[in-house]
Amino acid sequence: MTVIDHLSPRSPVEKLSIEQFEVIARAAAREDVTLEYLNGQMEIRTVPDSDHNAILMWLMRQFMTQRADLDLNVTGQGLKVDSYRKGRARPDGILAPVDHFAGQGEWADPQGVLAVVEVTSWDSDTNSRDRVEKAHAYAACDIEVYLLVDRDDDSVTVHSEPLKGRYRNINKLGYGHTVEIPGVEVTLNTDGLKRYAR
């Protein structure tokens, strides 16, 4: 039995320090889950399905075609998030200059990150995690853009202009619309996402 066998999504692990979380996260790296630490609580995410990964690869191609000087990191790079960096998240994608994360280790500072990407999963925590908690966490550390591909309603939401832990501008469009990514000179024609619609 492993450490993960004792945990369930939203396990009420109280008073867990960042150091304790990082030890558990290293152990979980060999399992079929991803761990994050948001708002003082450890959260468990299952490994994404094939359409989830296909959407990330589609996005990677879109960004790389338009901005060869940027990487959309989809390898599970962790970020220090939340007020005073007392949180840890693994965005589905992180848009940053090429080689931005070289030498930064498993949990990098979000400074210099241009955008983060999340693609919703089919688990019960998606609403609170992807639509609420992560939006607040990314805004709190001043990541300029949070792009959410929401498979529940086949939409793309662009959160931008972070201020005091909230994004002031939120633009939600259905698949098939043209989506501008503020500040990075990238335009997504989201017609390609229709092939992943339910």
The reported pLDDT for the residue numbered 139 is 95
Q: Is the pLDDT of residue 38 over 80?
A: no
Which of 16-20, 36-40, 192-196 holds the top average pLDDT?
Answer: 192-196
The reported pLDDT for the residue numbered 8 is 47
Q: Does domain 47-195 have CATH number 3.90.1570.10?
A: yes
Q: Determine the residue type at 155.
A: S
Tokens 């060999």, located at residue: 30
pLDDT-derived band at 178 (thresholds 50, 70, 90) equals very high
Q: Is the pLDDT of residue 76 over 90?
A: no
Q: Among 39-48, 155-164, 176-185, which stretch is predicted with the lowest mean pLDDT?
A: 39-48
Q: Which pLDDT tens digit goes with each residue over 52-73?
A: 899 999 999 999 999 999 999 9
Overall size of the chain counted in residues? 198
CA distance 123 to 14: 22
Strands (E) in 28-175, as ranges, are: 33-38, 41-46, 70-73, 78-81, 87-89, 93-97, 107-108, 115-119, 145-150, 155-163, 166-174
User: Rounded to 5 degrees, what are φ and ψ at 149?
Assistant: -95, 110
* Mean pLDDT calculated for residue range 105-119: 95
What mean pLDDT is reported for the chain? 84
DSSP at 111: T
Q: Among 34-48, 135-149, 165-179, which stretch is predicted with the lowest mean pLDDT?
A: 34-48
Q: Which pLDDT tens digit goes with each residue over 151-167?
A: 999 999 999 999 998 99
Q: Is the pLDDT of residue 109 over 50?
A: yes
DSSP at 194: G
Question: In the Cβ-directed half-sphere of 91, how many Cα atoms lie within 13 Å?
Answer: 29
Q: Among 27-36, 98-107, 134-143, 179-188, which stretch is predicted with the lowest mean pLDDT?
A: 27-36
pLDDT-derived band at 103 (thresholds 50, 70, 90) equals very high
